[in-house]
Structure 1
Amino acid sequence: MHISKIDLNLFTVFEAIYTEGSVTRASQQLHLTQPAISHSLNRLRQLFDDPLFVRQGHAMVSTPLARSIIEPVRSALRGLEVTLADTGKFDPALAGKQFTLALRDVLESTVLPPLLESVTRQAPMIDLAAIQVDRRELVSELAAGSLDVAIDMLLPLPNEIRREKISQDTTVVMARQGHPIVKGALDLDTYLKAEHILASSRRKGPGLEDFELSRLGLQRRIRLRCQHYFAACRVVSQTDLLLTMPEGYARIANQQFGNQIMPLPITMPSWDVYLYWHQNVENDPANRWLRQQVTQAFRASEQEETA
């Protein structure tokens, strides 16, 4: 069937039902009545000769066919949005919009203060939402436009996801003031004699520093595994455990604890931070402006750390 015979609005309805898992929520998202959404769904079912969604309890669950076509549909819709955008008239001072950024919690304290300061000053009607997204979902979320950008370490993502390195950081070790064996300097022997905290969102597995130690035939004792660096910094302040972490966040998280911060006594690759966006918004002026703000926010944060 030729595309001229198809109502392209049906695909907007299809994407909304898939995303929301509900005809009711899809109607709210698109500001249409439920009967209008149901009518569009019936037309889609006739078009594809497939139910596309089946009801299970209160949810609309997608069929295998629906799951196989969602990404091409999302990509096409996103491309149309960018094409139809008035590329010459994006004015952050007048625009009303919410940008959604995916980033790990360790980066929030680094980038959000300077980013929000800049956005508030330039764009009083633009809002930000910082969320954490499963890395396995980044490609589909960026393609769908439910994420505007993502900020993370270097990830093996397909070429349709553009990337730019926007920051790099060194690794440091934190110990409490008055530590019985760490007194202003830290050598490798002392590091290995101490007990350690590993802060990781993963339930098991070594940290990056453990990979480097294993390459040297060395191993450390991890006494505590926890989820967040801030909690680990507090534990450090009240115990003799050491914490290995990125320097930028260490300077921020340690402000209220006053722990010692020292270089890691082995060579570690830098913590490189990348900005990710979908190729469909490469030339979108709003997304381009957001990417510029994020990059400048990281630079401002780094300058503040070194001041």
Structure 2
Amino acid sequence: MQTLNIGSIDLNLFVVFEAIYREGSITRAASLLSLSQPAVSHALARLRDRLEDPLFVRRGRDMVPTPRARELIMPVREALHGLQGCLTGMGGFEPGQARRTFVLALRSGLEACVLPGLMRMLADEAPGVDVQSLTVGRRELASTLAAGRLDLAIDVQLPVDAEISQQHLMDVPLVVMLRADHPLATGPLTLESYLVARHVLVSSRRRGPGLEDFGLAQAGYHRQIALRCQHHQSAMATVGATDLLLTLPRVLAEQLPLPNVVIRELPVRLPPLSLYLYWHRDQEDDPALRWLRSRVLVGQ
């Protein structure tokens, strides 16, 4: 089969192809497109020649698609829908009919907080929508949003450029996770025992304090970090097998429970973890992204 360059094909031929496929008739497709029947037949002949396939065979009054046509129809419809969306601009977004992949920047600890609820909602309201979650360095967040490689980011409050919009998403209290048979698990966790214990810090950075350490420092306290690791699941597994303590957002602790660990209240008053949505101002009025932001906000 020959390889074709899209620039060598009149894209209007695919509009005719989709109409014939939908109507099962050249006559009805011509009526739908407000074209003459000879014009539709001529367009089909040109596309047959370019693709080297009959695309449709006549059975009685119906035009029946060939296997090649059945293979083409979904990609063609998705492409036409995308082009129509570009042309209509602010014409709206229909979640139930959408075929699209949204790209979100989520740090590893936030995926378990955001994705379960978001994907349940999409399954009900927008079954044709997919999501890709990736990690973007905070220094690259603005440029990645500006380049259109990212639709939405969720992170702690960050200093951002004027072209980046932000909206508060939720405040998440911090809790402490420890082994179920840990000596400190028999009663409420005290500040003294919390500070004497050794801790796990989850961070993608090689050095520097965690967000909870900033809060502790402001209150005049300091804790001992025995392990610095990249993912909360690894930290939880380590806590379940050692005497280390893990401080983490409550929603994450409850989303990823382990049978051999318990959750205790943080024995010092620290500000909750504040999460924000970030997007580029150029995407402020994009109907699809406006809908996505609204659903993320509702789901939390």
Same fold (TM > 0.5): yes
Greater shift in the superposed pair: 161-170 or 118-127 = 118-127
Distance (Å, rounded) in 2 between the aligned partners of 1:116 and 1:135: 25
Shift of 1:210: 2.3
The equivalent of 1:294 in structure 2 is 296
> Any unmatched runs of 5+ in structure 2?
9-83
The equivalent of 1:171 in structure 2 is 174
* Equivalenced residues, count: 222
Q: Does residue 1:161 correspond to 2:164, yes or no?
A: yes
Equivalent AA in structure 2 for residue 277 of structure 1: W
Correspondences of 1:230-241 after superposition (within 5 Å): 230-241=233-244
Shift of 1:218: 2.9
Q: Structure 1, residues 144-195: CA drift from partner, whole Å, max 9, x if none?
A: 2111111111010012111111111011111111212342211111112211
Percent identity reads 45
The equivalent of 2:276 in structure 1 is 274
Q: Which of 126, 129, 144 matches 1:126?
A: 129
Distance (Å, rounded) in 2 between the aligned partners of 1:158 and 1:176: 43
Correspondences of 1:218-237 after superposition (within 5 Å): 218-237=221-240
Shift of 1:82: 9.2
The equivalent of 2:152 in structure 1 is 149
Contact 1:101 1:150 (8 Å CA) reproduced = yes
Shift of 1:286: 0.8
Secondary structure of residue in 2 paired with 1:181 = helix
Q: Structure 1, residues 43-99: CA drift from partner, whole Å, max 9, x if none?
A: xxxxxxxxxxxxxxxxxxxxxxxxxxxxxxxxxxxxxx9985432242111122111
Contact 2:174 2:247 (8 Å CA) reproduced = yes
The equivalent of 2:198 in structure 1 is 195
Distance (Å, rounded) in 1 between the aligned partners of 2:141 and 2:219: 34
TM-score by length of 1: 0.67
Correspondences of 1:43-62 after superposition (within 5 Å): none
The equivalent of 2:108 in structure 1 is 105
Greater shift in the superposed pair: 211-220 or 126-135 = 211-220
Q: Give the direction of change, closer, same or farther, for the CA distance of 1:32–1:246 in structure 2 (3 Å limit).
A: farther
The equivalent of 2:34 in structure 1 is none
TM-score by length of 2: 0.69
Distance (Å, rounded) in 2 between the aligned partners of 1:31 and 1:230: 46
Q: Does residue 1:284 correspond to 2:283, yes or no?
A: no
Distance (Å, rounded) in 1 between the aligned partners of 2:222 and 2:89: 57
Equivalent AA in structure 1 for residue 266 of structure 2: L
The equivalent of 1:249 in structure 2 is 252
Contact 2:215 2:271 (8 Å CA) reproduced = no
Distance (Å, rounded) in 2 between the aligned partners of 1:31 and 1:163: 39
Distance (Å, rounded) in 1 between the aligned partners of 2:202 and 2:149: 29
Equivalent AA in structure 1 for residue 172 of structure 2: D
Q: Give the direction of change, closer, same or farther, for the CA distance of 1:296–1:31 in structure 2 (3 Å limit).
A: farther
Q: Give the direction of change, closer, same or farther, for the CA distance of 1:82–1:197 in structure 2 (3 Å limit).
A: same
Q: Does residue 1:184 correspond to 2:187, yes or no?
A: yes
Q: Give the direction of change, closer, same or farther, for the CA distance of 1:88–1:145 in structure 2 (3 Å limit).
A: same
Q: Structure 1, residues 229-254: CA drift from partner, whole Å, max 9, x if none?
A: 1111111111111111111101122x
Secondary structure of residue in 1 paired with 2:183 = coil
Q: Give the direction of change, closer, same or farther, for the CA distance of 1:218–1:95 in structure 2 (3 Å limit).
A: closer
The equivalent of 1:208 in structure 2 is 211
Contact 1:142 1:149 (8 Å CA) reproduced = yes
The equivalent of 2:138 in structure 1 is 135
- Aligned CA-pair RMSD: 2.2
The equivalent of 1:75 in structure 2 is none
Equivalent AA in structure 2 for residue 188 of structure 1: L
Contact 1:182 1:190 (8 Å CA) reproduced = no
